[in-house]
Amino acid sequence: MAGKILIVDDVATNRIMLKVKLSAARYDTVQAWTGAEVLRQIAQEAPDLLLLDMHLPDIDGIALCRQIKAHPSTATLPVIVLSATPAPEDRLAALRAGADDFMAKPVDESILMARLRSLLRARETEQDLRVGEAACRDWGLAEPSSHFAPAARVAVIAPDRDTASRWTDALARDLPNDRVESLSASDALGQTATQAPDAYVIATDRTQPGDGLRLMSELRSRAQSRNSVICIAPARSDSDTVVMALDMGADDVLPIDVTQPSQTQEAALRLSMQLERKRTRDRKRSFVADGLRLAMTDPLTGLHNRRYALQRLGSLADQARTSGQGFALMALDLDRFKEVNDTFGHAAGDTVLTDVAQRLRNCLREQDLLARFGGEEFLIALPETSLPQAEAIASAICRAIEATPFALPADAGNVAVTISVGVTTSDGTDPVSAVLDAADQALMRSKREGRNRVTTASCDNAA
């Protein structure tokens, strides 16, 4: 099924009519007719969306919406309020209570279905982000982010300068904490290369019919503006335009008639709600991105960690096998590093490891893989590199580590450190485990033969 919809109406005929329409579109439906029954059905059936009549026997629909949105477990449940006697003040009250939309009865079926599709897509995206966020929290991979919300930047793209000025002034009055400005379509596309606005309000017909929707598609296709809020302001309120806008990815459709204050207030309310959702999504994306970064990164040195390195080696082997260009692998280990920790303490050892990581970075190319493999062990993979080239790089690394003693913290002086390296190469046909073993065996020979040196081995004769 496409999703589970809870239909709430105290008139059985209305519930049955909505059930027939939704079932034809392959939605699963459950029904309720009182506020108490709504809360029971939400807990029992876990619906994906709520169609809520404004007038119920035991509670006002707007009050029930406010109650649902105030509870943490149901705050993100989409709610569409329906009313047979819609009034501008009711629309505003429903939106202020957290309703995702307000529709007049009899409901335009095509608009209702488009709105359902839009809200359920957004809900699925938010649920995916919550799963990723929960996983990062469970793994302890990211710190809680700040909930500070800077002023949002809202770009108005209207058919002409006069309309743009009137829309901008009207929205700015009702969004006093945000920055509302007018942009041309070309400027909007140009700014996606730098810093895109947080939200766009786009007229559907600017120069030609439908060019606002085409602009929205362009903005959705670009990385910088893909996650911006995009609201469409139709020149006419026909259902085809609204349906097309929602199905093409508009976050909302705004009524903007500056001669009617209730309409500009409603537009501002809808924009505020979408901006708050964007802030929440952005925080979750940032949290998950930080968690993924920590999952791949050694916290002390900032290098990739063992988990990431092993996965990347598999990709390098596939790439080498496909391109015919082999790769080199180095296993590196600091010599007698335990003595540094025992003599100067672990804080000094951590300082040395951090500085070693930086010297290693300085010896490598951007495309090379550098990872801390554990303790004082490092691993380097060099794509499209021959054995002689890898030997030369390894020798340069030994010189870079040995050349300058490492400064210790708290003015404790300096300590000389050297490094041993084992090098091997592969054409991608060898198992990654065999390549790692060859590099490790070469490293062990460097240690046995006096340390601070480079030794090579092939996968065939590593043993």
Question: What are the angstrom distances between the C-alpha of 450 and each of 85, 220, 309, 439, 461?
Answer: 90, 60, 28, 17, 21
Q: Answer for the pair 213, 205: CB distance below 8 angstroms, yes or no.
A: no
The catalytic residue among 124, 376, 377, 391 is 376
The answer for 216, left when phi > 0, alpha when psi is -120 to 50, beta otherwise, is: alpha
Return d(Cα 232, Cα 193) in angstroms, integer. 22
Rounded to the nearest 5°, which phi and psi values hold at 312?
A: -65, -35
φ/ψ of residue 354, rounded to 5: -65, -45
Cα distance between residue 420 and residue 452, in whole Å? 5
Alpha carbons 423 and 434: distance in angstroms, whole number = 13
CB distance 230 to 220 below 8 Å: yes
User: Which DSSP string do the residues of 260-299 spell out, in sequence order?
Assistant: -HHHHHHHHHHHHHHHHHHHHHHHHHHHHHHHHHHHHB-T
Partner residues linked to 199 by β-bridges: 154, 229
Give CA–CA dist 204/230, Å, rounded: 12
3-state DSSP of 361-412: HHCCCCCCEEEEEECCEEEEEEECCCHHHHHHHHHHHHHHHHHCCEECHHHC
436/453 Cα distance (integer angstroms): 18
218 is catalytic: no
- Give every CB contact of residue 197 below 8 A, 6+ residues apart in sequence: 153, 154, 155, 183, 188, 191, 225, 228
Q: Does residue 60 contact residue 68 with C-beta atoms inside 8 Å?
A: no
**Do 52 and 42 contact (CB within 8 A), yes or no?**
no
Task: List residues with catalytic annotation.
Answer: 376
